[in-house]
Amino acid sequence: MEPIRVLHVLGGTSLGGAESRIMDLYRQMDRRVLQFDFLVHSDEKPRRPQYFDEEIQKLGGRIYVLPKMKLYNYPVYRKAVVRFFRDHHEFAAVHGHMTSTAGIYLPIAERFGIPHTIAHARSAGVDKGVKGLATRILRLGLVNKAEACFACSEEAAVSVFGRKANADGRVTIFPNAIDPDRFAFRDKVRREIRHELGIEDAFVVGHVGRFHYSKNHEYLIRVFAAFRENCGKESGRRAALLLLGEGALMEPAKALCRELGVDQDVIFAGNCGNVEAYYNAMDLFCFPSRFEGLPGTVVEAQANGLPCLVSDRITREVGITELVRYESIDASPQNWAALIDERAAHEGARRSYTEEITAAGFDVREQARRLQAYYMGDSSAVLKQAAR
């Protein structure tokens, strides 16, 4: 018997937050009865393979491509979507993670006989300027254009589907779950990575995330510059900033490091498939985002036992343990730097927090079982409250 197939709609299959969370779920599925396929967006001809392509194909998944949607090419995009679902209507469900265009592709999928359509909110904000305004307009009425509405947090639910829809119970929360054991603290790995990077003696501030407006790297770098200037007054240690990720704003971030004179102490590690190893090398996780849905990286950092200093604009749902401290990004970078310096001066023993993460409902195995039951036709499974 052939497995049923679920189509996930994404921008791409790069090493991003949403993509990583979906792949975490995919690895946990019983692929004898359920398979994932991916519909991504690219204007490249041919499209260059991205980070997860090889693994997807090894797991039995298929990758399809649509052109990128831009406001001026709406007719072309819609025509491509119609053509795709006319040819490919074998899916049990279409799970849309691109909510900016879900109002286009989900109704078309339903029209061609797809039994289940899902819109999944993964962010609680939009880009600045015209692009953000366009996103808000395209999302209007989305709650009525999908059979089911999922969100990674209450804030993401309200941002994408509206306060009333969320209050009425029309949105189901699926937390961004992880494999806690993968992110457990390992002292041997810590020593190895710190030696490899030449930061054995440093107090290491870490961050994981793409270089994008939402992540607020400019503020993070200014915080680090202030911390480095003060570091030693309390702790007597060298300071280092470890950044994992890539993106369009990476070069401006490097330029700011040079401008502030901290470039020798900032490590741009790029996209790393073994991100769990790098959490071990950090001493504090700093995350001053302008907006998020529910950042899985903060969950990962807590599993690793890292103190987390995060923006007060991030949902409180990610504050699973006492490791998380929220601070305003309207405060000066010096305020954040002082908090980091205080932590550096009173560093305690490190332990894993995997049990706390699991107990809070952020174990990917639990969420995978819940989601698989829904895909297989048990709609009641998705309505059950997450353990959180």
- What is residue 385's predicted lDDT score, i.e. its pLDDT? 44
Q: By residue range, what is the domain housing residue 303? A: 180-357
Mean pLDDT in the chain?
Answer: 93
- Report the distance separating Cα 40 and Cα 38, nearest Å: 6
Q: Which two tokens stand for residue 281?
A: 């090398």
Q: Are 194 and 52 found together in one domain? A: no
The angle formed by the CA atoms of residues 97, 107 and 127, to the nearest 5 degrees, is 40
User: Into how many domains does the chain fold?
Assistant: 2
Residues 172 and 184 in one domain: no
**Domain shared by 58 and 104, yes or no:** yes
User: Does residue 119 belong to any structural domain of this protein?
Assistant: yes
Under-50 pLDDT residues of the chain:
385-388
- 388 domain-assigned: no
Whether residue 243 is contained in a domain is answered as yes
Residue 47 sits in a domain whose CATH number is 3.40.50.2000
What is the Cα–Cα distance from 5 to 89, expressed in whole angstroms?
A: 10
Give residue 35's identity as a one-letter amino acid code. Q
What's residue 128's pLDDT? Answer: 84
**Residues 25 and 164 reside in one and the same domain:** yes
Whether 164 and 256 share a structural domain: no
Query: In angstroms, what CA-CA distances link 267 with 72, 125, 153, 199, 242?
Result: 39, 28, 31, 10, 5
Say whether both 193 and 342 belong to one domain: yes
- Tell me, yes or no, whether 136 and 194 share the same domain: no
Confidence (pLDDT) at 359? 95
**pLDDT value of position 98:** 95
Q: Is residue 80 part of a domain?
A: yes
Q: Is residue 271 part of a domain?
A: yes
Q: What is the pLDDT of residues 307-366, one digit of tens each?
A: 999 999 999 999 999 999 999 999 999 999 999 998 887 777 899 999 999 999 999 999
Domain contains 173: yes
**Claim to verify: residue 142 and residue 286 sit in the same structural domain:** no
| Residue 212 and residue 150 share a domain | no
Q: Do both 343 and 370 map to the same domain?
A: no
Same domain, 57 and 149: yes
| 342 & 374 share domain | no
Q: Are 119 and 8 in contact (CB under 8 A)?
A: no
At residue 346, the pLDDT reads 75
